Structure 1
Amino acid sequence: MKDRQEMEQFEKLMGQLRGLYDEISLLARKSSNDGVNAFKLRLINKVLATANCILGPSHLPFDDFKQFDADDVPSNSDVTMVLAQYLEEAERHRANFVTELFGNKWVYVIDGGITDIPAGAPRKVTRK
């Protein structure tokens, strides 16, 4: 990440992706084949557009997917599956910008420099 603002935008994106995933996965458990309403779909597509910009081509989960088609209403389970893939790729992206100091204390790396900004340890991610 190049600066603190980019890191904060990324943290906001992670929160939005997790929130959407949690909400839609609950709906998918109840009614997996029901379609997502237009309001929710608009918000989901807005978050996916932001994710596409922040993650860049190297961390997009699918080469040929950018957002859901409003005319072809996706099901709750479709949206859950896609959001899960975006969450995984966002976590892989985040793992490139955190480092462990000591005592299992993780911080962000911004513009190549170690910061004092706390970060969580990468989840299920092996870094290079």
Structure 2
Amino acid sequence: MKTKEDVEQLEKLVGQLQGLHSEISQLAKKSPNDGLNVFKLKFVNRVLEVGNETLTDQYRPFDDFTQFDEASLPTNSDVTMMLALYIEQVERFRSDNVVYHGHQWVYLVSGSPSDIKGRSPTAVGGERK
């Protein structure tokens, strides 16, 4: 991440992905094969767009997936699955961009520890840049 705004965008993305996943998971439990309505799909696609901008190639869940097609509404379970994959990759990206510095976890900004507090890493296996 290069700026404080990048960190803020990442934190917002994490919250949005988790919120959408939680809500759509409830729909998927009741009706997994029902199509997600266009209203909800627009919000899902907006969040995925930000996810694709935030995640570099190595973190994107799939090279050939960017968002859902509104013309052929995806099922609740399809959306839940993709959101879960994005959550995993965003967390791996976040974990790769926090370090323990000055007795606390902070984000790396332009490769150096910043004063922006973060949570401890939870995902293992990523590549720190």
What TM-score do you get using the length of structure 1 for normalisation? Answer: 0.92
Quote the offset at 1:93 in angstroms.
Answer: 0.9
SS in 2 for 1:60: coil
What aligned pairs does 1:5-84 form with structure 2 within 5 A after superposition?
A: 5-84=5-84
Query: In structure 1, what is the Cα distance between the partners aligned to 2:105 and 2:72?
Result: 42
Structure 1 regions of 5+ residues with no counterpart? none
By how many angstroms is 1:71 displaced?
1.1
Single out whichever of 108-117 and 35-44 deviates more from structure 2: 108-117
Aligned to 1:107: 106
SS in 1 for 2:58: helix
What is the CA distance between 1:116 and its match in structure 2?
Answer: 2.5
Q: 1:118 to 1:87 in 2, by over 3 A?
A: same
* Aligned CA-pair RMSD: 1.4
Alignment partners' CA distance in 1, 2:120 and 2:75: 33
Amino acid at match of 1:15: G
Q: What is the rounded CA distance, in whole Å, between the counterparts of 1:79 and 1:62 in structure 2? A: 14
1:61, CA displacement in angstroms? 0.2
Partners of 1:7 and 1:77 in 2: CA distance = 30
Which runs of no fewer than 5 residues in structure 2 stay unpaired?
none
Aligned-residue offset at 1:6: 0.8
Structure 2 CA distance for aligned equivalents of residues 18 and 5 of structure 1 = 20
Opposite residue 31 of structure 1, the aligned amino acid is: S
User: Which deviations, in whole Å up to 9, do the C-alpha atoms of 1:49-77 show, x marking residues without a partner?
Assistant: 11111102221101111100111111110
Name 2:92's counterpart in structure 1. 92
The structure 1 segments of at least 4 consecutive aligned residues displaced by more than 4 Å after TM superposition are none
Matched residue SS, 1:57: coil
**In 2, Cα distance between equivalents of 1:127 and 1:79:** 25
- 1:121 alignment counterpart: 120
How many angstroms does 1:101 deviate by? Answer: 3.3
Taking the aligned partners of 1:100 and 1:30, their CA distance within structure 2 comes to 42
| Mapped contact 2:95–2:123 kept (Cα < 8 A) | no
* Identity of matched residues, %: 49
SS of corresponding position for 1:58 = coil
